[in-house]
């Protein structure tokens, strides 16, 4: 069955430091992967998605993610954290056709001044 | 502006009551979804609908019911059979017309339901 695992339920970084949020997917999933961000008491907003083609995907707010098939990973990075990046981040894969998504457990990012 | 509107944002329910959460979209999307979010558990799919007058069960359906009488609307009813309804509920939609698996979902702002 398809699944996605996010390593670390909580990550804390200093402002200006590198952000690295980890996501691994099961090898049975199709190569479509999504990262969403959720601010407190808000819905989810798409950060970026991988479909086919270039393995390095750039998203909004300076985030990017690299699809590595050999490692079954799709880690999210940002070179320099900003206070406004504090939020919860979800990695997701599709169930199958029909638009349903399987979400990871989420990683809460804290940014210290 | 196109988007998904959930209402109300906060909802309080007494034990034994049924409540209905509203979800409306003007994106002309065929598919709509309801997810439940609990701390540390990610999002879990309750029901989804790919076409009017049809819907399918997700992973957690006990104590929930839905209807899809109009393309733009997908209300969720939380019944008294749901033993632990306190959670954050998210509605989403996606354009699945071409059957692609790389279509992202668009989310509403959520409804926080609390049992009092």
User: pLDDT of A25-35, one tens digit each?
Assistant: 987 766 789 99
Question: Which of residues 46 through 65 in chain A touch B, CB cutoff 8 A?
Answer: 46, 49, 51-52
Look up residue B54 and give its DSSP letter. Answer: E
Q: B33: distance to nearest CA of chain A, Å?
A: 8
Burial of A28 per CB tally in 10 Å (0-12, 13-18, 19+): exposed
Cα distances (Å, whole numbers) of residue B33 to A16, A73, B108:
37, 26, 10
Q: A103: distance to nearest CA of chain B, Å?
A: 6
SS3 helix, strand, coil % of chain A, rounded to 5?
10, 55, 40
Pick out chain B residues at pLDDT < 70.
1, 97-101
| Angstrom distance (rounded) from CA A90 to CA A84 | 17
Nearest to A96 among B41, B43, B101 (CB): B101
A59-80: average pLDDT: 95
Collect all residues of chain B within an 8 Å Cβ-Cβ radius of residue A98: 31, 48, 50, 96
Nearest CA in chain A to B101: A97
| Angstrom distance (rounded) from CA A3 to CA B77 | 28
pLDDT of A57 reads 94
């Amino acid at each position: 069955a398809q699944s996605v695992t996010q390593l670390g339920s909580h990550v804390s970084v200093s402002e200006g430091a590198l952000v690295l949020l980890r996501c691994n997917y099961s090898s049975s999933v199709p190569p479509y992967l999504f990262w969403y961000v959720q601010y407190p008491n808000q819905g989810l907003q798409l950060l970026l998605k991988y479909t086919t083609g270039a393995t390095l995907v750039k998203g909004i707010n300076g985030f990017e993610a690299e699809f590595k098939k050999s490692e079954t990973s799709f880690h999210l990075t940002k070179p320099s954290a900003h206070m406004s990046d504090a939020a919860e981040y979800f990695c997701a894969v599709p169930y199958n056709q029909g638009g349903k998504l399987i979400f990871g457990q989420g990683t809460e990012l804290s940014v210290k001044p | 502006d196109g988007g998904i509107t959930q209402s109300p944002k906060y909802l309080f329910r007494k034990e034994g009551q049924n409540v209905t959460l509203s979800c409306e979209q003007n994106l002309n999307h065929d598919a709509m979804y309801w997810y439940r979010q609990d701390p540390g558990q990610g999002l879990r799919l309750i029901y989804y609908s790919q076409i009017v007058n049809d819907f399918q069960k997700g992973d957690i359906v006990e104590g929930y019911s839905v209807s899809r009488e109009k393309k733009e609307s997908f209300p969720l009813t939380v019944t008294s059979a749901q033993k632990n309804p306190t959670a954050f509920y998210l509605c989403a939609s996606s354009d699945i017309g071409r059957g692609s698996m790389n279509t992202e979902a668009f989310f509403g702002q959520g409804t926080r339901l609390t049992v009092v």
